[in-house]
Structure 1
């Protein structure tokens, strides 16, 4: 019987392939699956196309299996024919034909007249030999800087990393080591850097890859709308964790969108692509806060929905900002650079950068738009200072005053707004630190337009003093928050205290990051002075001031290490739940690099002002910090490479009497895994200058000439991890 809309109602067929088709079109075998979400018939009559997702058809699996067996049998016959012919005519074949790698190029006729079949490749899988080798990702390329053949022209271009990055710091550090080596007698030469980088086995046996069945693959790809109940649960999780430090997404808007989806069709097609992208990245970030959260399908869907050709809206801007943060905290920092480009483009297109665009808006809209703009600036400062890139948004373009647009004293009965007041206050303090980060990179890192620092100590010290005064002023104006700049502040805390004081902790981490960014060029300048004392024309006054400042910075590193130890002991998921894993991971790489620089200074500068501790104490602190780096980094290949490289450097330079110092009889310190999460037992003398905190820098997926497979399996240098999707697609 035919209905008025042209649809013919017929009994549904029971064919085995029918579940892959639309429920209205099963009898026509129309393919309608996740790759083709709407079949032609439903599109013609403007119907919502519903389908049942299931695993692969068993009949199709059996057919593929039969084809594979036939192909294998054919290949066996080919090899038998070649073997028999080679026995009779030893010179009839060349080596390439007999090798497995050369099969399929050409075949030899069987002397018995049997048929030769071409090699079979399953449907959808082309001949691997004919496929182009895929280009490595930017994250993977960055890791090749310390390969054994890094000086080869083919591997030299790893991308640009400016003066504020960890890459640049490591290059300057190794240059200082080479200069120190030139001053050593011939019988006391230090190990070359290439020897240090290649003093361990290069290749380790690969473990078997994890088997992915059709059931698990279907579960991994399940990015369908999770239903209202599950969606509300994920939304609440997001606003209880990530949104606390990213307060530029409105909860009421997302709740209303979820209700609309549920009332219409219960599928993603019920809302616009921009809202789909925002909801998907929110769900992905919420799932990422769990230890076993399956966030990848939602992340991939959000990535695909953010089309560059589409019209930019505030929802798209929010999605791009969350996407960049998600990429940073899921080992995809280099990918987040591209996302940042798009976020800046969207901000300028929407006009959130222009004060005149706020004139006709209500205060709530003004607050939302200004929060988006400062979130873009924050992301730009975070990525630019970390990866050593010039800022995309210059300081003169930031003309909006946050206190004019983000009204903290507005009277409102809106419960959501009242609850977010603390988050907005927190964001104000982050904006202040972002302004200092921008000034620091422009003043003493030369806007990341160079790879090395060119300022002398006499030029650098006044800048450092001014930036430290500004940092101290920010600390004084931090009310109602309190920075945790002493380990005694949290020694008696419990896990509940972390949740209640999360704003204080995150602001303290950003404060440490700013301090590290300020002190890094000063440390390199003193290293240059120590490695080339005869070529330096620095005055003793500036050198002594620099050493006094570095002495206070060493105390800052100790405080940061103790804070992070306590946080991880109380709540290991804190870094994920507050979107600061990437920040802490990079800061741990940075402080290990800086501690190695401190160790070099302490063991080679007998005529400088003392740092307050000797080289052995600094070495012990560095070994604690190395273990903490491994604990924070987890499965990050970057962290493992950085840990292994710096561990080997420290071991080699402190062993066999080659400590680059006049001290002898030193016993190498050993730090166990259990001690890694404990506070350092050594204390520094009180400082006369209350300056501290670190900076953060760039991804160090670079440190060491190791391949990804070196860290797989369960061997001595391995981590016990197999290849994961994150490891394979983005190492940073």
Structure 2
């Protein structure tokens, strides 16, 4: 019989060199002789027998097995992802082959797949990112996303203010809560490294994407040098870019491809929306991962182009952060001063014209985002000293920088028109935007006295009108342009018209529907009593400018016309602002005696519904447009809530009655004063009927 060895002996048996049976806590020998049985705590080299583990009541073997299986599971998951990436790459290659080649390659792939282990094709693990539902595009931002600050100038803040006034009566518990933001706050997956094979556009597609960018964003923000861009694009087309120094250009081109791919996806007809723009963007982020390590003008360019793609898909907060990074990088290389550049690597970068256009592009974009979000500006006029770009700068547009008068219109006194005229006009416009933010919509939430605000708004409106009158003839959007053939000038006029009407509406929006939006603000109600006619004029201007914004869309043929012929990167914000003003005005415009005597309630509603129809048309390719449509539909319900008799006057609560009386009897000064006095002496809130 084979000797049964104990896995370990007690200390007493080891000292006596006696046979120990290994029973714990007291072995049989020590128990029989009455010895003290002690055991060493050193690590065992042999596993305990099954009988001993059963005595303990717990087995360590499953834990050891689980620990040993974890690395195997990670290796298997990595192996499966590699197989899927290989399959994805092969499928993309197959699409470019003829039928005979496809048959040969498919047979080879079938033979290879038969040699894979069964678990290599297990679908229980993560699905390939190419076939995964694009949650980064269609998920609802704001459901589980962190809230971000928006100030008084923001259209989102204005809509929330309207809801607060009717939060007890506008929506019942049975109705779903409306969307509270159209900005997309989710993150795009897999930005640390590429999880899919590189997607490279064909030469024709790449050229089309470049043309889209140059004909839309570049005519508004000409920070790039057209000739240098096309020269480097030829290097990209030849495929000679496999070196590290070209990676900033790869990042910039992929961001341009993302913009071009997204723009050309409109109008969306049928089938599944393409996600190529997100893949181009992912590749651009991958190639720009080291931009922060070496600051250069080219790195700033890549970041600005990235900002415009983020604006186009309404990742506004991420654009805000990216622009802040670009501004800091620009300041680190001296874009904010006129001293000679010290970080230029090539001769063309040393020309100050490129630096000036880049700095003022960030300046204009900073003002746009600050106004849209109601946040502080990152660039202040007192903290930089940069000359304005030259109107005849030959770098941004190349040979297209000047246009002959005969090719524009037959009635022209000037002999030459410059494409840079628009950029200079927008820079001057941005100074006005900064003044509006500082003097009317202070992000610090320090309230401006209502009478001071009224005087300031009048002064700002006068400055804005002077700016419009000072525009070159070919950029005057309020004048006719018969027989003009320049598409670029037409687009520039559309951009200026949108900016002008939007800013003018914002200048006078603080005085819109004061009895509703400022019912408990005694200084505002006192101002309403003193300066009724000035308030009426400001309110009328606000509504008319909102109507003008909506009427710019009356002759749209399809979604492509909106995306290409208007500043798509800010259109959703401008249309939300205009339509919210129109819906509120329409809800409190019961008759022709109101302040909006030039428009009926039906006219206001039709203009507001024009914006809604645009959002509905764009919702197939834009999650932000879909959420904007939901917000507008929720606002339109205010009209039905008010005009269905849902409010009644309770004893001691004459606030809402005086408000409606004020709107319906504004022609009678005696009744008007009575209503306002009642409102200011009894500022209690109204209550909806049960």
Q: Tell me, yes or no, whether TM beats 0.5.
A: yes
In 2, the alpha carbon distance for the partners of 1:416 and 1:621 equals 37
Shift of 1:386: 0.9
In 2, the alpha carbon distance for the partners of 1:271 and 1:225 equals 21
Aligned residue number for residue 148 of structure 2: 159
* Residue 515 of structure 2 corresponds to residue 522 of structure 1: no
Aligned residue number for residue 191 of structure 2: none
Shift of 1:60: 6.1
In 1, the alpha carbon distance for the partners of 2:326 and 2:524 equals 46
Aligned residue number for residue 333 of structure 2: 350
Aligned with residue 551 of structure 1, among 540, 550, 555: 540
Q: Which has the higher contact order (CA 8 A, sep 6+)?
A: 1
In 1, the alpha carbon distance for the partners of 2:604 and 2:240 equals 60
Aligned with residue 382 of structure 2, among 380, 388, 396: 396
Which protein shows a greater Rg?
2
Structure 2 unaligned regions, length at least 5: 1-81, 87-104, 129-134, 180-193, 267-273, 404-415, 649-690
Is the contact between residue 653 and residue 659 of structure 1 (CA under 8 Å) also seen in structure 2? no
Is the contact between residue 583 and residue 608 of structure 2 (CA under 8 Å) also seen in structure 1? yes
* Residue 200 of structure 2 corresponds to residue 246 of structure 1: no
Aligned residue number for residue 94 of structure 1: none
Aligned residue number for residue 382 of structure 1: 368
Aligned residue number for residue 275 of structure 1: 249
* Residue 561 of structure 2 corresponds to residue 574 of structure 1: yes
Is the contact between residue 429 and residue 467 of structure 2 (CA under 8 Å) also seen in structure 1? yes
* Residue 315 of structure 2 corresponds to residue 326 of structure 1: no
Superposed CA offset, 1:192-239 (max 9, x none)? 465554499xxxxxxxxxxxxxxxxx9985434755x76555434432
Aligned residue number for residue 44 of structure 2: none
Is the contact between residue 301 and residue 358 of structure 2 (CA under 8 Å) also seen in structure 1? yes
Shift of 1:623: 3.1
In 2, the alpha carbon distance for the partners of 1:138 and 1:442 equals 35
Is the contact between residue 461 and residue 542 of structure 1 (CA under 8 Å) also seen in structure 2? no
Aligned with residue 66 of structure 1, among 101, 110, 118: 118
Is the contact between residue 366 and residue 406 of structure 1 (CA under 8 Å) also seen in structure 2? no
Aligned residue number for residue 175 of structure 1: 164
Aligned residue number for residue 406 of structure 1: 390
- CA 1:401–1:500: 2 relative to 1, 3 Å: closer
Is the contact between residue 588 and residue 628 of structure 1 (CA under 8 Å) also seen in structure 2? no
* Residue 434 of structure 2 corresponds to residue 434 of structure 1: no
Give the alignment of 1:23-34 within 5 angstroms: none
In 2, the alpha carbon distance for the partners of 1:32 and 1:257 equals 35
In 1, the alpha carbon distance for the partners of 2:210 and 2:111 equals 40
Aligned with residue 465 of structure 2, among 438, 448, 472: 472
In 1, the alpha carbon distance for the partners of 2:618 and 2:585 equals 22
In 2, the alpha carbon distance for the partners of 1:418 and 1:649 equals 46
Shift of 1:320: 0.8
Aligned with residue 300 of structure 1, among 268, 277, 282: 282
- CA 1:220–1:481: 2 relative to 1, 3 Å: farther
Aligned residue number for residue 67 of structure 2: none
Aligned with residue 199 of structure 2, among 217, 223, 226: 223
In 2, the alpha carbon distance for the partners of 1:413 and 1:616 equals 45
Superposed CA offset, 1:301-350 (max 9, x none)? 11122235421211111111111011111232232122112211211112
- CA 1:591–1:549: 2 relative to 1, 3 Å: same
In 2, the alpha carbon distance for the partners of 1:139 and 1:348 equals 36
Aligned with residue 444 of structure 2, among 443, 446, 449: 449
SS of the residue corresponding to residue 218 of structure 2 reads helix
In 2, the alpha carbon distance for the partners of 1:544 and 1:339 equals 45
Aligned residue number for residue 644 of structure 1: 630
Is the contact between residue 484 and residue 504 of structure 1 (CA under 8 Å) also seen in structure 2? yes
TM-score under structure 1 length normalisation:
0.59
Aligned with residue 640 of structure 2, among 648, 654, 676: 654
SS of the residue corresponding to residue 339 of structure 2 reads helix
In 1, the alpha carbon distance for the partners of 2:315 and 2:298 equals 22
Superposed CA offset, 1:597-625 (max 9, x none)? 2134435998x755444545433433343
- CA 1:657–1:610: 2 relative to 1, 3 Å: closer
Structure 1 unaligned regions, length at least 5: 1-30, 36-53, 72-119, 126-135, 145-154, 182-189, 201-217, 663-732
Aligned with residue 288 of structure 1, among 254, 258, 262: 262
Is the contact between residue 307 and residue 322 of structure 2 (CA under 8 Å) also seen in structure 1? yes
Shift of 1:472: 0.4
Aligned residue number for residue 594 of structure 1: 581
Superposed CA offset, 1:375-428 (max 9, x none)? 1111111112112221111232243231xx425288999636557973321110
In 1, the alpha carbon distance for the partners of 2:397 and 2:508 equals 46
SS of the residue corresponding to residue 277 of structure 1 reads helix
* Residue 453 of structure 2 corresponds to residue 460 of structure 1: yes
SS of the residue corresponding to residue 143 of structure 1 reads coil
SS of the residue corresponding to residue 295 of structure 1 reads helix
In 1, the alpha carbon distance for the partners of 2:398 and 2:595 equals 58
- CA 1:559–1:649: 2 relative to 1, 3 Å: closer
Is the contact between residue 353 and residue 398 of structure 1 (CA under 8 Å) also seen in structure 2? yes
In 1, the alpha carbon distance for the partners of 2:621 and 2:255 equals 22
Is the contact between residue 546 and residue 581 of structure 2 (CA under 8 Å) also seen in structure 1? no
Is the contact between residue 213 and residue 260 of structure 2 (CA under 8 Å) also seen in structure 1? yes
SS of the residue corresponding to residue 526 of structure 2 reads coil
Q: Count the aligned residue pairs.
A: 505
Shift of 1:484: 2.5
Aligned residue number for residue 183 of structure 2: none
Aligned residue number for residue 32 of structure 2: none
In 1, the alpha carbon distance for the partners of 2:376 and 2:429 equals 18
Superposed CA offset, 1:264-292 (max 9, x none)? x6344375222222222233333333237
